Amino acid sequence: MVLNRWYYQIPVMQPKERQDITRQNVETLFISNDFQDSLARRLAGAVQVPAIAYDDMGLVGEDPRWEVFHQFSDYLTKTFPRVYEALRVETVSTHGLLYTWQGSAQDLKPLLFMAHSDVVPAGESTSLQWTYPPFSGHYDGEFIWGRGSEDDKSNLIAMLTAIESLLVCDFKPHRTVILSVGFDEEGGADRSYGARCLAEVLLERYGKNGIELIFDEGIAGIESRFGTDFALPATAEKGYVDVDVKLSVPGGHSSTPPDHTAIGFQAQIINLIEDNPFQSQLIRQNPTLTFYRQAAVLSKSMPLELRDAILGLKPTKRFLEYMDSDRERRAMVRTSTAITMVQGGDKVNSLPETANLVINHRIALHDSVQAVKEYYSALLRPWAKKRHFNLDAFGVVEKNREDSQTRFDNNNDCGDLTLTAQYELEPSPISDTEDSRFSWLAGVIKGVFGENVVVAPELLTGNTDTRYYWDLSPQIYRWSPWRASHDPRGTRMHTLDERMPIKGLVEMVKFYHEFIRVLDEVQR
457 and 500 share a domain?
A: yes
- Whether omega for the bond prior to residue 152 falls within 30 degrees of 0, making it cis, is yes
SS3 179: strand
Assigned domain for 304 exists: no
Regarding whether 474 and 365 lie in a shared domain, the answer is no
Output the DSSP codes for 213-251: EEEEEEEEEEEEETTEEEE--EEEE-EEEEEEEEEE---
Model pLDDT for residues 409-423, shown as the tens digit of each residue = 544 578 999 999 999
Separation between Cα atoms, residue 263 and residue 345, nearest integer Å: 8
Q: Are strands 354-363 and 239-248 parallel, antiparallel or unpaired?
A: antiparallel
Ramachandran region, residue 227 (left: φ > 0; alpha: ψ -120 to 50; beta: rest)? left
Q: Does residue 305 form part of some domain? A: no
Q: Note whether 349 and 460 are same-domain residues.
A: no
| Alpha helices, DSSP H, located in 364-478 | 369-387, 436-449
Active site residue 186: no
CA distance 138 to 124: 19
**Assigned domain for 327 exists:** no
d(CA 518, CA 213): 13
Cα 335 to chain center, whole Å? 16
C-alpha distances out from residue 5 to 70, 300, 446, Å: 50, 18, 18
Q: Which H or E run contains 97?
A: strand 96-101
Q: Which helix (H) or strand (E) holds 375?
A: helix 369-387
Predicted model pTM: 0.93
Closest among 30, 318, 291 to 166, alpha carbons compared: 30
CATH number at residue 355: 3.30.70.360
197, 244, 416, 472 from 206: Cα distances, Å: 14, 39, 50, 8
Asked if the structure places residue 306 within a domain, the reply is: no
Report d(CA 285, CA 333) in Å as an integer.
11
Which residue, 406, 425, 444, sits at the end of a domain? 425
Tell me the three state secondary structure of residue 513: helix
Q: Is the same domain home to 374 and 472? A: no
Q: Are residues 393 and 506 in the same domain?
A: no
Sign of CA dihedral 199, 204, 205, 211: positive
As a whole number of angstroms, the distance between CA 450 and CA 249 comes to 63
Task: Tell me the H-state helices in 366-468.
Answer: 369-387, 436-449
Whether residue 405 is contained in a domain is answered as yes
Asked if 66 and 166 sit in the same domain, the reply is yes
Contact 183, 116 (CB under 8 A): yes
Asked if residue 291 is part of any domain, the answer here is no
Pairing of strands 239-248, 415-425: antiparallel
Query: Would you tell me how many other CB atoms lie within 10 Å of the CB of residue 79?
Result: 17
**Are 18 and 524 spatial neighbours (Cβ–Cβ below 8 Å)?**
no
105 Cβ contact partners less than 8 Å away, ≥ 6 residues apart: 174, 175, 524
**Which of 425, 440, 462 is the last residue in one of the domains?**
425
pLDDT tens for the chain, 524 residues: list them: 334 454 567 899 999 999 999 999 999 999 999 999 999 999 999 999 999 999 888 899 999 999 999 999 999 999 999 999 999 999 999 999 999 999 999 999 999 999 999 999 997 777 789 999 999 999 999 999 999 999 999 999 999 999 999 999 999 999 999 999 999 999 865 567 899 999 999 999 999 999 999 999 998 889 999 999 999 999 999 999 999 999 999 998 999 899 999 999 999 999 999 999 999 998 989 999 999 999 999 999 999 999 999 987 666 788 999 999 999 999 999 999 999 999 999 999 999 999 999 999 999 999 999 999 999 999 999 999 999 999 999 999 999 987 655 554 544 578 999 999 999 999 999 999 999 999 999 999 999 999 999 999 999 999 999 999 999 999 999 999 999 899 988 788 888 999 999 999 999 999 999 999 999 999 76
- Shared domain for 369 and 434, answered yes or no, is no
| Phi and psi based region of residue 239 (left: phi greater than 0; alpha: psi -120 to 50; beta: remaining) | beta
Task: Report the CATH number at residue 97.
Answer: 3.40.630.10
Angle at 145 between CA 143 and CA 149, to 5 degrees: 95
The active-site residue, picked from 152, 185, 216, 507, is 185
Nearest to 195 by CA among 468, 471, 475: 468
Question: Same structural domain for residues 264 and 220?
Answer: no
Choosing from 425, 447, 478, the residue where a domain stops is 425
User: Within 10 A of 355 (CB to CB), how many other CB atoms are there?
Assistant: 23
* CA distance linking residue 244 with residue 127, whole number of Å: 32
Domain assignment present for residue 286? The answer is no
502 SS3 class: helix
| 389-393 vs 415-425, strand pairing mode | parallel
Amino acid at 371: A
Determine, yes or no, domain membership for 49: yes
Q: What pairs with residue 454 in β-bridges?
A: 230
The pLDDT assigned to 395 comes to: 97
Spatial distance between the Cα atoms of 76 and 78, rounded to a whole number of angstroms: 5
Whether residues 96 and 244 share a domain: the answer is no
354 lies in the same domain as 453: no
Residues 392 and 506 in one domain: no
Task: Name the residue among 330, 334, 323 with its Cα closest to residue 372.
Answer: 334
Range of the structural domain that residue 402 is part of: 239-278+335-425
User: Is there a catalytic annotation at residue 107?
Assistant: no
Number of domains in the chain: 2
In whole angstroms, give the CA distance from residue 40 to residue 387.
62
Co-location of 170 and 273 in the same domain: no
